[in-house]
Structure 1
Amino acid sequence: MHPVLCGLAANTALPAELIDRLIAVADTAVDTALASRPDLSHAQVLALASRADDTAVQLVYEGRLTAPDVDPVTHPQAALALLGEHVGQPEWARLFALDPSVERREKLAACPGLPPDAVETLATDSDARVVAELALRTTSDMAARLAGHPHAEVRRAVAANEATPPAVLAMLVTGEGLRPAERCLVCDRRDTPFVHDQGCQRTDCDLLPGASCDGSHESTVHDMQLQALRNPATPAGAVVGFADHPSTLLRQQLAARPDLPPEVWGRLVDDPDAGVRGELAENPSIGVAQIRALATDHGYDVRRRLAHNPRVPLDVLDQLATEVRIGSHLLPRIAAASPAEVAAMAGSKNPALRMLVAERRDLPNGIRDVLARDPDAKVVKSIARHPGLSEAQLRAMVDRHHVRVIAKVAANPDASAALLEDLAGLEPPGHKVFREIARHRNATAPSLLACLSNWSARSLAAGHPALPPHVIVELLSHDDWQVAEAAAANPSLPPSVMSQWVLGR
C-alpha cells in the first residue's frame, strides 16, 4: 500500500484526467479507495472491476456495477454480490446452486428472492452449512419444512429466522412434535463425546470455542434455544420456563424479551446472576415495582443499565444519577421527557440530573442559557456542544472551568475561528482539544498548525482543507503513513503536486 496514492485516490479534487492513470498504476488498497469515488465513469468502473474480485464486489455494493457488466464465470463473487442485492440474473442462481464450492453455495443461500428451483436444490444440499444459511432467511413455508431437518445446525438457523411460524418455533424450543436431531457440526468432525478446546490452535478447525457433543448435540441445541429466545416471533408461553434454566446466557436472553408475563419479571428480579438482572433492568416492558426493586440492586452494572430504561421514573433516575456513573450521553428517558419535566430537571438541586438533561440538543434557549452558567463543570461539559450558544457564552465557560470543559467547547458547531485559535494555544494542551479543533469546520491555519504538533490530532489536521497548501505538500513525506495519506486526500493539495505523484510513477 502506498499511502500517498491511497489518499489521492480518495481526494475529491483529483483532476479527472488523473483517475485513469491512477487506475493503471494502482494496487489493491488504491483500488479500494478508487472504487468509493462517486465520479467514476462506466469505463473506469469496468476497468477497476476487471482487476480483482474484491474490487468488483465493492463496486456492486456501491451500486456502480450491474448485471450486464458481470460474467458469473469469470467474476463469480461479483455475481453472487448482485444476487445478494436482488439484482442478479435468475439463471446465475441455478448455476451457483450446483457449484462445487461450498462457500459459493453458502453465499447463494443467503441471497433473497431466489428462483424456487434453486431454493429446492439448496434445501437438499449435502452440506449442512449451506442448508443452514438458507434456513436463516428463507420463507415461512420453507422454514417450517427445514425445522425437521436431521442436522441440528439447520434447526438452529430456523430458530433465528423471524419468518418461522410461531408454532414451529415453539416446537423447536420444547422438542414436542419433532424427532431429535441426528447430527451437528461437532459430531460431523469428531468422535463423541467431544468438547472443543477454548484455545484450539489448529488452523484447519472451524468449530466454535467450547462447542461440544456427547450424542445429544448439546452446544448446538443450546445455541438453537438462544436464537429462539432472541426471536420475537417465538411465543412467550414457550419460553417462560427458561426463567429457571441452569444456563445464564439463556436466562439473560429471556430477561430481555418485552413480552414476558409479570410473574416472570418477579422471578428474574431475584435471579442470582447480575447479568440477568441487568438485562431485565433495561427491558422497557417491566413494571414500576420491578424498576424500584432494581434501583436498590448493587449487582454489577444493574443500576447503570436501569438508568437506560425508557420507562424509569424521574425520581428513580434522580437517585441513580447520584449513585451510579451513568456517563454523559442522552438517556432514553431524558430524550422523552416533557417540557415540564425538562424544566424541572434543569432546575434540580442535583447536578448529576442537570448534567443528564443538558445532553439534550433541543433545549429551549432560556434553559440552555441557564445551564451554560451552571456552577458545576460536569453540567457545563454536557451543555457546551449545544447549538446556538454565543461566543461570549463559550468563552465564559472556558474562563470558569478551563481544562475541564475546553474539549467540549471546541466541539461546539458554532465555535468561531478566533475561539478555536485561542483554545489551541491554552496550557496545558489536551489530546481531545486538538482532535476536536482538527475536525472542526471553522478551524483556520493557525489552530491547525498547532494541532500538527499533537500525535493524536495530526492526521485529522493533515486532511483539513484550511491547512496551507505548502504544509500539506510537506506532510506527504511524513513518517506516519496515516498523516501522509490524509494529506494526499486533502482537497487543498495543489493539482500540480497530484500530477507529479501520479504521473511520475
Structure 2
Amino acid sequence: MALVLNGQIGLVLDHQPARGETWLLEQARSHPQLREYLKTNPSVPRRIRRAAGRLPDSEAAESPPVPLPACPEPSAAPATVPAAPPPSRPLRERLLDRRSDPQLTAADTADIRETRRLWGLAARHPLLPLELLKWLDEQRPYGEARETLLRRLEAGPMEEEALLDYAYRGSWEERASVARNPALPGPARLGLTADPDWWVRAAVAENPNSEPGELAELAHDADHVTVREHVAAHPHTNAPTLLALAADGDPAVRLQVARNPSSPPEALSLLATDERYAVREAVAAHAYAPADVLDDLAADANERVQYVAQLRRSPLSLARAQQALETRRRNAKLAVAVQEAPGEVLARLAGDRNPRVRAQVGLNPFTPADTRTRLLADPVPDVQRVARASDPTTPGTELAALPLFDARVREGLSSNTSAPDALLVALSDDPLRDVRLNVLLNPTAPGGALERRLPERPMRPVIRQHPRYAQVRTKLHDLEWQEVTQPDVSAGALAALGQSDAPRVRRQVARHPATPPETLELLVNDPDDEVRHGVVSREGPLAFVAQAVLAQDPSARIRKLLLRRPDVDPAALRVVLRASHQDEDILVDLVRHRHATPELLSELAGMASTEVREAVARDPRTPDTVLEELAVDPQASVQRSLFRNPACTPALLRRLANHRHLRLEVAHHARTDGPTLEYLAHDAAYQRFLKVNRWTRRLPFADHALLNRWRNWSRRRASARALSDVLLLSAVIAHPAATPRAIRMATRLDHPNIREAQASRRRLAEYSPQEFEGQAAAGVHSQPISPPMERGHMEDNHG
C-alpha cells in the first residue's frame, strides 16, 4: 500500500495481479486515508476513482483501520527497530513540492532507487538527502542531481561535518559551492582562500560571511581577474583594499569598487575620473560620493552620468523621483534611495529586484516603518542585516551581535537610538567619516564616544550640538587652546578653531597673523567684543569686507581702533561716518585721518559738532567750496579755524574780512592780499568827508566858521572810528602786501601805534625782496601792535 500512496498505483496494478482493483477497494473500506487517496488523486485510474467515490463513509468509519504493509528496503533497519509512521502524502506529490522537506522513509528511498521515472523528479528537489543526491549523481553523472547537489552545498541547510567534508575532500565544483555557503566555518573558509583552483578562491570572495582579512588576501590574487572582481564587489572588503583595487588595471574590477557600498570617499574620488562612463555613473549613485565629486560629475560629458549626479545634488520631488524610477536603471534608483525621497517612492524601491537598492532603502532614515518591517524579512542576508541595524525596535543584544564589516550596517547602527553604548563608542572610531558623524548626531551617544572624537576638528561643530556636550565642553576648550597657541598652527586649523564656542580661543584666532581672511570675516560678527577687538588690532592685512563690518560695529572703541589701522580702506571711512554721527571723537579722527578724501570732509563739514567743523576748516584737503561755506558758519571758532588752514586763499580771507570780529585776524594773516588790506583800511565816511572838504575849499567862504566847525566835527568822528581800529590800521601798514593806497588810508590817524607800524615797515623795506618775503613768511608783521596809550588825531593827507 505504501507504493500506492506514493503514486505508484500503476506499477502495483501491472506487476501484482493479486492486488488488483477489487483488493484496493476492499482495503479502502477500512482505511480512510487510502479511500480518500483513491477518490482524489489524479494518478488513480478513473474507474477506480469512481468506485472509491461510491464507497459509503459509514463503512469506513465503522471498520477500525488496519496498518498498511510497508515495502521492504535492502538497507532497512533490523526488525527489532519500530518503523516510522508513513507520510500523509504520496511520494510523487512530496517530490513535486520543492519548498518543504519530502520526509523520505526507508521505503521511499528504496522506491526512488528502484524507479527510474522518479530519478529526475527527485534529482530536482533541493531538500533531498545528500546521500540520495550523491547516489543519483553517480547514476547520471553531471545531470540534474549534480546541479541540485551543488546548489545544496552552496546555500542549503547542512550539518557542519558535511560542509567540512566537502570543503576538504570534495571536487573543485563541490569545494567552490561549499565556499559560498554562509554556514561554512571560518577556518575552513580561510583554508579555501589558498585553494589551487582559482574558481574556488573566487567562490570564497562571494561568501556573504567572508571577513576583511580573507578578502584582503584574495585581493592580491593575480591568477584570475574574477577573484579580484568578487573581492571588489564584496561589502565586507575594507577601505584600504578597495582603495588599492580602485587603481586596478581591469575595468571590471574598478566598476565593482565603484558599486561597492563600503567603498570609501577616497576611492570614489579616484574613480570619478575613470575613462569608462559606467564607472563614473556608479560613483555618482554612491551614497559616500563627496560633494565636489558630484559637482564635477554633474557636468560630465556622458548624459547618464550627468543625470544621476544631478539627481543627487538637488532635493527630490515626487514627480522627479517617479521619473527617475521610470528609467529602470539601477544607478538612478540608488540615487533616489540615498536621499530624502517620498515614502511611497521608498516603498516601491523596497520591492526592487536589486538587493543593493533594497538595502539602501532599509538604511534610509526616511523609510516608513512598515516598509522597513518588510525588509527585515528579505531573503538576502545583507538586506536583512542593514534593515535590522537601522531599525530602532531591534533589541540591543541583536544589534551588538551584527557583523560590522559592511559599512551600511555600521552606518545603520551608528544612527540607531537603540544601539548599546559600548557599540556606539566603538563606532566612534570608525574609519568612515559618515559613521563617526552619525554617532555624534545620535542623541543617545555616551560622553565617551564624544570625547574620542574631540581631536577631529570637522566633527566639533556636531559635538557642540549634542545633548551631552556639557560632559566634554571643558576638555574640548582646553584642547582647542593648546592647538591655537602652537607656533606652527596651520591656516586650516585656525579656520576650524575660529568656530569654537570658547571666547579665549576665538580671540587668539582673531589675533593670529596666519588666520585666513574667510575666518576673519566671520569673527568680525562675533558677539564677544574682545574677539572683534582682536580682529581690528591684529597685525597683517585686513580685507575690506571685514573692515566694512567693523566700521559699523556697535562699539565706538572698535571703530576708533579701525581708524588707527595703517591699511584702512578709504571706503571704510565713509561707513564709519554713517555709524558715528553721535561720536564726536570718532568724527574728529575721521577729519584728521590721512586717508580722508575731499568728499568725506565735505560730509563732515555738515556735522552738528562745532569741534568737527573746526577740524574740517583747518584741514588743507577741504574743498574751497566747503571752506567758503564755513566762512559764514554761525560759530566764530569755526571761522577762525580757517586762518589755520594752509590752503586758505586770499579770496577766502576777503570773505572773512566782512566779519567785524575777524578783521584784525585777516589783517595779520600772511596770505591777505593788497585789495583786502585796502578794504580793511578803507573808511567810507572819512572818504566822503575828504571829497566834500576838497570841494568846499574852492568856495569863497571856505573859511566860514560854520564850515570849519563842520570840518572839526567830521574829523573828530573819523578820528574816533580810526582810533577804535588803530590795531587794524597798524596791522595793515605793517603787512608786507599792503598797497600804497591801503597805507595812505591806514595812516590817516596820527597815533603812536601808527607811527610804530610805519617805522616797522621802513625797516622791512631795507631787506632784499627775498628777505622781505622771508620776514613775511616768518610772521614778523603778524605780531599784534600794542594798544594806543594816547588819543590820536586825523591828518588830511589823503588826496
TM-score (norm 2): 0.27
Which structure would you say has the larger Rg? Answer: 2
TM-score (norm 1): 0.39
Greater length-normalized contact order (CA 8 Å, ≥ 6 residues apart): 1
